[in-house]
Chain A
Amino acid sequence: MGFNVEIKQWRAVAAWTWNAGDDVCGICRMPFDGCPPDGKYPGDDSPVVWGVCGHAFHLQCITKWLSAQTEQRCPFCRRPWEFKAAATAPVQEEPVTIQPQPHALQLPR
């Protein structure tokens, strides 16, 4: 009866993207998965960050924006800007079963 096929080894491929809803950064208008204008590499080297207001930008873009402003506000909703802690970023996936690693993303303080 049949092959009785058993899978021994699996080489899977997955791609990750920033879970940032909108496709492009509201500041530089580049895709989140691409680089901001000053960035060289996409991905880990061009991280995306969220404010407590829920808006996401390239880290480089929002830092540049904030340093040019006297008041630290989100460029979208004008609410005071505060970085959302990484662990609570709006990832609504299945509950994680192992100990979370809190500093996956290094954020400037």
Chain B
Amino acid sequence: MAGTQNRIRAQGPGTARKLTIKPLKSKPKLPEDFETTTWKKLQHAVHAVHGKQPVTVSLEELYRAVEDMCLHKMADRLYANLQQECNTHISAELEKLASSQTIDPVLFLQHMGNCWHDHTSQMLTIRSIFLYLDRTYVISTTGVRSLFEMGLQLFRTHLASHPQVERKTVQGLLQLIKAERQGETVDRTLLKHLLRMFTSLNIYADGFEQPFLEQTAQFYAAEGIQYMQETDVADYLLHSEKRLGEEYERCQQYLDSSTRKALVHAVERQLLEKHMPTILEKGYDALMAEKRVPDLGRLYSLCARIHALEALKQSFREYIKKTGITMIMDEEKDKDMVNLLLEMKANLDTVLHQAFQHNEQFANAMKDAFEHFINQRQNKPAELIAKFIDAELKAGNKGQTDDELEVRLDKALILFRYISGKDVFEAFYKKDLAKRLLLGKSASTDSEKNMITKLKTECGSQFTNKLEGMFKDIDLSKDIMTSFRQAKAVQAKLTDGLDMNVNILTSGYWPTYPTVDAKLPLELNHYQEVFKAFYLSKHSGRRLVWHNSLGTCIVTAHFPKGKKELSVSLFQTVVLTLFNDADSLTFAEIQEASGIEEKELKRTLQSLACGKVRVLLKEPKGREVDSGDTFLFNEAFVASLYRIKINSIQLKETVEENKKTNDQVIQDRQYQIDAAIVRIMKTRKTLSHKLLVSELLVMLKFPIKASDLKKRIESLIDREYLERDEANQNVYNYLA
């Protein structure tokens, strides 16, 4: 502090004293032998490092020596000298390795590893000593390698001049990796170390990677062939997946990351691509049949790797077609067909979702396959799906909640979606719906209407118009019955205390029923007439036809052992009332008195005398009714319940009924074909056969054979809607 004040004082004005620096009288000189001695010192140290001896001089002193030499512009010579030293050393080291007699490749690898390790660590020490050189001379001079680089370069050159060393190293490495692939434990650190050497020396790709990939391909080619023969497909897939995992791990553990792609590809190629066709052909169906979802999932992801999903999809599709067709064509299994199909669908869905990752293309393939096979058999699947739904919607189908019912209906609808002949479904659905509605067998109106809504969304309102009309008729009938009961003048004529309920059908909506005549009991006849008059008075311009075959009654019957209430069909009622006046009647007598057609009467009598509940006895006994039989009132009839249902024959579908429904569909199709042909020809006037057929196939929504079309065209020519062109027989003209 005091000093500072003095200086301020000294700087006062006037007497300023100048400070001058004079040059040295003689320039300071380096000692003559500076370069030689300093290099000697350094050389000594380098030798010590190479010889793994302790360095006698402190590292700092050495560093300064380097710095001094550089400052005195001796850097280039210093660099050259150092390079010379390293060269000699590396050359000697590799010479040693080359001449080593070690045959065991692993041992040799260890030598090689040590040699490399020494080289790198020594080069690092040398670099620390010569750091100043590395930082100044090397950086400012072009074409000179950094010290470490220089070391690598020298190592590379000498290694190249001893190819047997490199070859042995590579062989050793490959042998180790192969051993590891065969399940042995190997020194991964050594592997990693040596492979890093290859990378550092920039000879990884050519020196190691190429032979390595070749060996890999060989190894897995052999393994692929062997395993394909020895194991089943599932195990093979598992093994392949394991192998791929191992190779990935290998890349992480010691291989250069650039190898991964090529390596994985080689494995995929040898283990998967080459064998995938065989795998799919040999094992796919079994995997599907046994529902081995995890294995299928594995197959999927492996196929995805090698871009073989298309082939897998194909197998998937073929499998569905194959199993589907056998299921569909087996007539003995018709009863269970829908359930079997649903089960199959559910299994396939599981596979699709859990194994095939919801792949949309696979879902489409499944749809294709279903559409293909389900339409291989004409009409029957559609009919059975309709019946399946009927069974679900029928009363007495207890034990399932509304939600469960909904799920089952939805599933059935999925199958329905695959059907191309939807008109068959419609016909059978309509027939069954009619029975459910008219015989009061429908479980719930809500479920019924729900189902109609589903069909509407599926096929449009055109499809459900008539079905909805049927519900409308039922509702209208209720209204009519209400006003019928309220009409006093009418009721005055009805005194028997019979509760009459009529469902009035609009003919166009409902299936057509054959009229089966019967001589009704007088009271019923009277009721019928009164109602008819009432109805026609409300609705003029109409005709009313009674469908006796659909009528049902509840009657009381007095048996010696007690009074029972029977739920029976109208025909059964007609037969039973005959026994009010007689204990025993022959078939002929019953036929005469009831006026029921023979076949229908046989069915009726069979249900009364041969079924579970036998209110009549038949002479002679037997399961079938013959026109010579005699029937007796069953006096000994007993039943635990008061109410007994014996009208199930109405619900059952007869062979004739089935045939009629099918025929109706065929008939309708013919009308549709005719209409379509006329419509097309009316706009086109003239069209060749080929074009007409192709337009028809687009327009018509059900499966048709070209031969059927030909028949319809011929029929239209006969009816003079069309004519063949005189010049060309294959061309049709429209006749207005």
Contacts and interface: CB of A to CB of B under 8 A. Distances in A.
B559 A9 contact: no
Contacts of A31: 508
Given A2-B579, A8-B499, A10-B551, A17 B490 contact: no
B80 to A, nearest CB: 105
A35 to B, nearest CB: 7
A10 B541 contact: no
Interface string A41-69: 11110101110000000000000000000
B542 A16 contact: yes
A11 B506 contact: no
B570 interface: yes
A9 B501 contact: yes
B532 A93 contact: yes
Interface string A1-18: 111111111111111111
Interface stretch (B155-163, B184-192, B522-530): B522-530
Given A3-B576, A5-B580, A6-B556, A14 B501 contact: no
Interface string B630-672: 0001000000000000000000000000000000000000000
Residue in A4, A35, A86, A89 with the greatest tally of chain B CB atoms within 10 Å = A4
B251 interface: no
Nearest to B567: A9
Nearest to A34: B508
Contact of A16 (B440, B507, B521, B580): B507
A44 B506 contact: yes
B565 interface: yes
A100 B465 contact: no
A42 B466 CA distance: 8
Contacts of B513: 15
B455 interface: no
A19 B543 contact: yes
A33 B507 contact: yes
Given A10-B524, A15-B544, A43-B509, A96 B503 contact: no
Contacts of A6: 555-557
Contacts of A96: 533-534, 536-537
B291 to A, nearest CB: 48
Which applies to chain A's interface (DSSP): helix, strand, loop or mixed?
A: loop
Interface residues of A, number: 49
B502 interface: yes
Residue in A15, A17, A48, A99 with the greatest tally of chain B CB atoms within 10 Å = A15
A97 interface: yes
B510 A15 contact: yes
B558 A3 contact: yes
B398 interface: no
A18 B540 CA distance: 9
B546 A12 contact: yes
Contacts of B545: 14-17
A16 B535 CA distance: 10
A66 B356 CA distance: 64
Contacts of A95: 533
B230 interface: no
Contacts of B487: 98
Interface of A: 1-20, 31, 33-35, 40-44, 46, 48-50, 86-87, 89-91, 93-101, 104-105
